[in-house]
């Protein structure tokens, strides 16, 4: 990534700072983000989700991967199905509890994964994409420190220490296709404005 972008990520000290930068990258204000191809923005299929994803990041659910609910014939002529789904980092326990409660109340699937020195919760991955009925992509699943290091390469050690003790939460619609798009309304309903943060 560019030196200017690298300095921005290195300057972040708190999860709130991290969320602000991830939102900025989603919106096109930064050219690169850690753990992603340099000088690339979100995939085209994510375009319609950017306002929601940016709001989630700024509220404390720092999204790292997401997709809309879709079904249809792919470029290879085969039948593809996607669940609306998102995964990301949460360090605020109150927000985590609200997200999990809202997901349970609306029948969403969840997977919670935590990295802890003495062992944390390690949920099972959720299949979110199939091709001709066969699993292709899953979100969530066991995480290790070795997985987090490349994903957040270039962040300050003080921030990485907070990342490593946070929770990775996956939320996925129960159904494939556009009917699962209500996932985004479900998540947005849990968000509350947070105070502005300052780095230091």
Task: Look up residue 41 and give its two tokens.
Answer: 């923005």
DSSP type of residue 179: G
Residue 166 lies in a domain: yes
Residue 182 lies in a domain: yes
Quote the pLDDT of residue 41. Answer: 85
Residue 86 lies in a domain: yes
Domain range spanning residue 83? 3-188
**Do residues 169 and 183 make contact, with C-beta atoms less than 8 angstroms apart?**
no
Written as tens digits, the pLDDT of the chain (200 aa) is 899 999 999 999 999 999 999 999 999 999 999 988 888 888 888 999 999 999 999 999 999 999 999 999 988 899 999 999 999 999 999 999 999 999 999 999 999 998 765 567 888 999 999 999 999 999 998 888 888 889 999 999 999 999 998 999 999 999 999 988 999 988 888 876 555 544 44
Task: Look up residue 172 and give its two tokens.
Answer: 């996925």
Residue ranges in 44-199 assigned as alpha helix (H): 50-59, 93-105, 145-151, 157-163, 182-188
Quote the pLDDT of residue 186. Answer: 87
Number of domains in the chain: 1
**Do residues 177 and 71 make contact, with C-beta atoms less than 8 angstroms apart?**
yes
Residue 41 lies in a domain: yes
Residue 103 lies in a domain: yes
Distance, in Å, from the CA atom of 79 to the CA atom of 165, rounded to the nearest integer, reads 39
Residue 195 lies in a domain: no
Residue 196 lies in a domain: no
Residue 58 lies in a domain: yes
């Amino acid at each position: 990534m560019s030196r200017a972008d690298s300095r921005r990520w290195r300057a972040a000290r708190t999860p709130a700072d991290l969320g602000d930068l991830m939102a900025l990258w989603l919106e096109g204000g930064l050219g690169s983000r850690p753990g992603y191809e340099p000088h690339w923005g979100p995939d085209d299929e994510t375009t319609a989700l950017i306002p929601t994803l940016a709001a989630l990041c700024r509220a404390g659910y720092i999204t790292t991967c997401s997709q809309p609910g879709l079904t249809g014939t792919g470029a290879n002529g085969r039948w593809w199905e996607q669940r609306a789904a998102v995964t990301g980092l949460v360090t605020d326990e109150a927000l985590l509890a609200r997200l999990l409660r809202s997901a349970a109340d609306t029948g969403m699937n969840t997977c919670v994964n935590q990295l802890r020195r003495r062992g944390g919760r390690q949920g099972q991955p959720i299949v979110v994409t199939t091709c001709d009925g066969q699993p292709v992509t899953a979100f969530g699943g066991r995480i290790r420190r070795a997985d987090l290091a490349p994903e957040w390469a270039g962040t300050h050690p003080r921030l990485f220490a907070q990342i490593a003790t946070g929770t990775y939460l996956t939320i996925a619609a129960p159904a494939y296709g556009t009917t699962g798009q209500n996932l985004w309304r479900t998540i947005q309903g849990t968000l509350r404005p947070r105070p502005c943060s300052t780095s230091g």
